[in-house]
Amino acid sequence: MQLIHVQGDVLSTPEDMLVVHCISLNARMGAGVAKQIEESYFVRNEIQMTQRYCPGLVVVHRGARRIANLITKLHHADKPTLESLQASLILLRSYLVQNGIESFATVEIGCGLDRLPYHSVLTLLCDVFFNTNIQIFMHHV
C-alpha cells in the first residue's frame, strides 16, 4: 500500500480513476463531497435502486468514471464509527482486488463532515490496505 497526499479537488482526477467517498444508507448526498459527486454524476437514484447495507459499498459507473460509495452510517444526520468505516473499507479492498484496480482517489475520508479523527483514519487505511499494491491518492483541499 502506498498513501500519496495530493492538494486539490478529488473530482479533478483523471476520469479513469476510481473515486471513493462516504455516504449514508439513505443516500441523501446533500453536503460535502457527496453533494459534489451527486451534482456532477447524478448517482443518487442508482444507489437508491440498489440493495444496500450498512456498512456497505455501492459502485456506480459513469462513462470511464467509477464512484465507490462507502455506506458508513444509516441516516445522513448520523456520524459513522471507525468500525463501520473499517467494514466498508474491507469491502472496498475486496472489490479492488477482484477487479484488478490498483489505485483510487479519495478525500480525507470520514474526517470532514463525519468528524472521525484524521490520524485514526490514516491508521485504519494502513491496516486495511496493508500487504496490497494499492495506491491511495488522498486529496486535501
Q: Look up 16 and say whether it is catalytic.
A: no
**48 grid coordinates:** 437508491
**3-class DSSP state of 140:** strand
**3-class DSSP state of 131:** coil
Catalytic residue among 35, 79, 114, 127: 114
Q: Look up 9 and say whether it is catalytic.
A: no
Catalytic residue among 35, 73, 78, 127: 73
58-93 burial, b at 16+ Cβ within 10 Å, e below that, comes to bbbeeeebbbbbbbbbeebeeebeeebbbbbbebbb
Active site residues: 73, 114
